[in-house]
Amino acid sequence: MKQVLGPKVGWILNSYVSRKAEAELKRHTREMRSEVLDLAGMLSLDLNELLVGGIELLSQLANIALVRCRFLFQAELELRVATLKPGDQAQKKDMGDKGADWRHVEDVLERLGLRLLYIKKPGVFDTGIASRLPEAYKKFWNEWKCTTPAPVHHIEEPGKWKRNPTSGRVIPVQNVPIPVMYPPEHNRGLWGGEGVIKGFQKRDPQQRRVPHFWIPVLKRSVVYSEVLDKHISTIVTDRTINLIHEHYGFDHYLLKTLACDLKSTLALRLKRKILLSLHNKDLYPDDPTKREEVYNKYKKYLEPYTKEDLEWYGLTMFEAIKKQTDLEEILNQPKPLKHVYRKQLLQKLMEAGIQEAQEIDQEEYENIVDDKDESI
């Protein structure tokens, strides 16, 4: 037996191993030893530097482990092939297939190593009461918070590539949205997607730039909802008025626009109220003709929604959690044992063939079980 690698690795191979395999193993052993020494030097750094380079350190450790596994496997294959007899061609072919399988395993391990470097952050619906919210509210949340809104403060360039007219160089198109801030006051009005932009302004060529906030022009106006038959006084912008005119009415504007573009909770509540009014057909209670006319005009907007979707549409996370908590309290409310025992007694009397119990109809049976019969 001949010791090919150092005692730390602990490899002892048979003397039948080929000279080429032995030279390759020695060379890769030296490389692995140098990498291990470099890592040992990295481990002697202070805590801050170690935390900063933690991801890089994990990546290097994974690469060294992958290299070690690969050459361990190749060395074992070389050793087995060297010890085979000349007539064992089938087994030799099987060894080659195993080498090809290892290359596939190597690719899988590399992809797995990249996944290990990515740590998924817990989402909004992963913990607490929010994890028990129905899919209807998650659908609305994705439309409100996870959908990319339409550009308001910048103009997007079409396509993926463009040519510089001066140099003729082809460069990629970069549509980077401007960071916009939405103060709490925007939830009490209809700003049409506009917000506050923070930046710098150079007011004099010979002076330094100064911070500046661009605030939308706000004004109080009155909008009319045909479905609700109400005039609403609220804070709007010029963009909101233009969008209402483009959609030929306030109701069309709310019902056609996605939640991510409406932004404010006031607009979402009005949209939810309009959709529920259309679903329940409780608009214009004193004028059936007008009710049918308005309902036929706006009923096409009910197609994407179910009853459950409308019940959870337009709620904030706090309101949805409160509603879910109230529903769970109602479902988990303890039922008095007298109702349970009374139901069991009636069932036994019916099974025994008692005539008085057989004559009880279903409605009277439910009243007796639920303790609604005042005669008891």
How far is the C-alpha of 189 from the C-alpha of 258, rounded, in Å?
Answer: 17
DSSP element (H, E) containing 57:
helix 54-83
Q: What is the DSSP string of 111-175?
A: HHHHHHT--PPP-TTSSSGGGGS-HHHHHHHIIIIISPPPPSSS-PPPSSEEE-TTT--EEE---
Which pLDDT score is estimated for 340?
80
Closest by CA position to 275, among listed 246, 300, 244 = 300
How far is the C-alpha of 49 from the C-alpha of 38, rounded, in Å?
Answer: 15
Which pLDDT score is estimated for 5?
40
Strand 189-190 vs strand 230-236: parallel, antiparallel, or unpaired? Answer: parallel
Closest by CA position to 368, among listed 240, 349, 230 = 349
CA geometry: angle 72, 78, 84, nearest 5 deg = 140
Q: Structural domain boundaries of the chain?
A: 135-150+176-326, 337-368
CA geometry: angle 368, 372, 376, nearest 5 deg = 60
Which pLDDT score is estimated for 36?
52
Which pLDDT score is estimated for 111?
56
Q: Are 79 and 1 in contact (CB under 8 A)?
A: no
Flag whether pLDDT at 92 surpasses 50: no
The more confidently predicted of residues 12 and 38 is 38
Flag whether pLDDT at 376 surpasses 50: no
Q: What is the mean pLDDT of the chain?
A: 77
Least confident of 22-31, 48-57, 70-79, 118-127: 48-57
DSSP element (H, E) containing 275:
helix 265-280
Both tokens of 313, joined, read: 């549409």
Flag whether pLDDT at 215 surpasses 70: yes
Q: What digits encode the pLDDT tens for the residues 176-203?
A: 889 999 999 999 999 999 999 999 999 9
Q: How many CA atoms lie within 13 A of 345 on its CB side?
A: 9
Going by pLDDT thresholds of 50, 70 and 90, the confidence category of residue 259 is: very high
Which pLDDT score is estimated for 352?
80
Flag whether pLDDT at 80 surpasses 70: no
